[in-house]
Amino acid sequence: MPTTRNLLYKMNMNTCCSVTLADGQTTNVLLADDIYDLSAHLSEYGNNVLWVLDGNTARLIRPLPTPRVILEPGESAKNWRGTERILRAAVEEGMARDGRFIGFGGGVICDMTAFAASLYMRGCRLTLVPTTLLAMVDASLGGKTAIDFMGGKNLVGTFYPAQDVLICCDTLKSLSDKEFLNGLAEVIKHALLAQDEELYRMLLLKKHQIMGRDPAVLRNLVELSLKVKQSYIERDPKETLGIRQALNLGHTFGHALESCGRFTTWSHGAAVAWGTCRALEAGEKLGITDQRYASGATKLFAMYGYDIDYRIGRGDWQLFRQSLLKDKKKQDGLVRFVLLEKQGKPVLTTIELKLLQNLVISSPI
C-alpha cells in the first residue's frame, strides 16, 4: 500500500485529541490531510499487523495489504462467526501479543476488530481507521467493543480502547448520501449533548456545505463532534457513573427499532435520529424537556430528511418491548432512558409503559 510518494506526507498527520480512559489508557486521534498522508502513517506500523476490512473498504486500498481478513459488509457479519475469522487468521499468521490489528472500515469493522483484539492473547495492539462518518464520530473512540448476540444489539463486548485512531475525511467522498446520513445522526446527537451550541449552529447554517462534503467543513464537523464525545467518556470511562450513558441519547428507542427490522430495515443512524425525537417527545410530555428546545431539535433532524414521524405497527410491539428489556442500561430490572432538559443537560429516567406505547405505536394498544 505505501509508496515513496506516500512518505512525503508523513508529517501532515495532525493530532485532533488525546483521550485518557480507564487505567490511564490513552487513545490518540490523528487527522490525515489526505489518503496519501494516511497511507504513510500506516506504513510506520511495519509488517507485524493483521488488517480487517469488509467488501466495501477493500476497494479503497490498492494493492490490498496482507495478511488480511475481508468480512461481509453490514451488521450481518457482527457476530461470533466473524470474530472467529479474525482470531483464526491471527493464529494462522503466528501473531504474538505484540502484533497489531488494524480495523479499516465502518462501525461494524471498528467494533469487531477491537473486540477480537481484546480477546487475542488477552489483548494485542489495536489501530482503528474509520472510513464512515458514523465510525469516525462514534464507533472508533471510547473503547467500547461489541458484537450482536441473540437478537440483541451490541449485547456482548468489552472495553478495549485503540492506541491510535486515524481519520481521513477523504474517505467520506465514497459514501452514499444514505450512509453519510447514517453517521450525521450521531453528529446531531452530539450537538444536542454539547455544552455549547457551536456544533448545533454549524448544522443549522451549513447544511449545503455539509451535504456537499466540503473538506474543510467536514473536518471541523468531525473534530467538534469528537470533542463532545471526549468530554463525556473521559469523565466516565467505563460507564459506571451515569455520565457516559448520556451518549446513548436516542439509542434505547433506536436499537429496539433496529431489532424490529431485524437490523436490515433501518440503518443505525436513521434509527437513532428517530429514537432521539422520541426521547425529546417523551421529555416534553413528562415536563422535563423545554418545549421550544424539543421543537427546534426535532426540526433539525427533519431538515436533514430523517423519518422522525414513523410509528411501529401494533403487531411489532412485543418484539420492540423485548428489545427494550435487553437494553444494557437496565438497572434493577428497569430500563432507563436518556432524555434532555435543554442543551447539554441530559437526564436518565424510566418511562411508564403506557407512555412508551403512545410514543412508538401507530395505534396504541
- Known catalytic residues are 122, 144, 186, 229, 239, 244, 248, 251, 255, 268
Backbone angles phi, psi at 94, to 5 degrees: 70, 30
Choose among 112, 3, 127: nearest CA to 61: 3
Q: In 3-state terms, what secondary structure has residue 353?
A: helix
The three three-digit cell numbers of residue 74, written as one number: 453490514
Rounded Cα distance between 94 and 88, Å, is 10
Asked if residue 182 lies in contact with residue 268, where contact means CB atoms within 8 angstroms, the answer is: yes
Q: How far is CA 319 from the centre of its chain?
A: 24
The torsion region of residue 19 among left (phi > 0), alpha (psi -120 to 50) and beta comes to: beta
Strands (E), 109-226: 125-130, 144-149, 152-159, 164-168
- CB atoms under 10 Å from CB of 70, counted, come to 16
Asked if residue 311 lies in contact with residue 303, where contact means CB atoms within 8 angstroms, the answer is: no
Exposed, middle or buried: residue 246 (CB in 10 Å: 0-12, 13-18, 19+)?
A: buried
- CB atoms under 10 Å from CB of 98, counted, come to 9
Sign, Cα dihedral of 173, 306, 280, 199: positive
